[in-house]
Amino acid sequence: MAVYRLLAYCPLGKIQKKEKRREKMKKIFSFDAETNGLWGRAFAIGALVFDESGAEIARFVGRLPDTEVTDAWVKENVLPKIGDIPVTHDNYDALLASFAEFYKANKTDADVIVHMGFIVEVKILRDLHAAGLIGDWDAPYPLLDVSGNLQQAGEDPTSVDSYVKKNELSVGEFEGGTHNPLYDSAVAAAVYRHLLTR
């Protein structure tokens, strides 16, 4: 017990703990959606899956036509950021079905993460279940929200972008930045990995 306490408080102990965290790093499934208003249906969903080393191994992007968007704020602030994402589905049910297949194929042994996932991403999971696209035990247990990691680290829990800038993290190239669901998935994953290994 005394040896453990000594290691826990000396620099060698901190290094050993970091190495153990790196050894335990899991696959990451990060997803994000853009919705027709905060409480509305998703019209764009992005997800990225990273292996234990942080390399991207799978990607999902789905989008509905702009006619699905009626919210004025979303039209002004979100649609311009996702112009490079092609329309892939005609309706919400088809978008959900495609995302459900991707999710089920990639969620095993992954930390499933979001950033500030209530309300938007939680609604997607509930809608998947209500539509019978995932079963009772297919939901992520737990769904990990990066905002809690940020708060615990003494950082602003509402901004992954400021954390990335402060720590000079690489996110990759995504057209539009914030509000592009692929970018938002990538930045959440980058922050999550960095926080777990610091």
Q: What is the pLDDT of residues 115-160, one digit of tens each?
A: 999 999 999 999 999 999 999 999 999 999 999 999 999 999 999 9
H/E element, 36: none
Residues written for the chain: 198
Q: Is residue 12 part of a domain?
A: no
Q: Is a pLDDT exceeding 50 seen at residue 15?
A: no
More confident residue, 177 or 166: 166
Q: Is residue 37 part of a domain?
A: yes
Q: Is residue 62 part of a domain?
A: yes
Q: Is residue 74 part of a domain?
A: yes
| Residue with token string 């950033």 | 115
pTM for the predicted model, two decimal places = 0.87
Domain of 48 in residue numbering reads as: 25-197
Say if CB 52 and CB 26 are below 8 A apart. Answer: yes
Q: Is a pLDDT exceeding 50 seen at residue 178?
A: yes
What is the CA 110 to chain-centroid distance, rounded? 12
Q: Is residue 55 part of a domain?
A: yes
The residues, ordered by sequence, that sit 6+ positions from 86 with a Cβ below 8 Å of its Cβ are 63
Q: Is residue 42 part of a domain?
A: yes
Kindly indicate the confidence band of residue 20, based on its pLDDT and cuts at 50, 70 and 90: low
- Terminal C-alpha separation, the chain: 25
In whole angstroms, give the CA distance from residue 85 to residue 64.
10
Provide the CATH number for the domain around residue 178: 3.30.420.10
- Give 23-37 pLDDT, tens digit per residue: 578 999 999 999 999
Nearest in space to 149 (alpha carbons), one of 92, 183, 190, 177: 190
* Domain total in the chain: 1
Kindly indicate the confidence band of residue 19, based on its pLDDT and cuts at 50, 70 and 90: low
Q: Is residue 6 part of a domain?
A: no
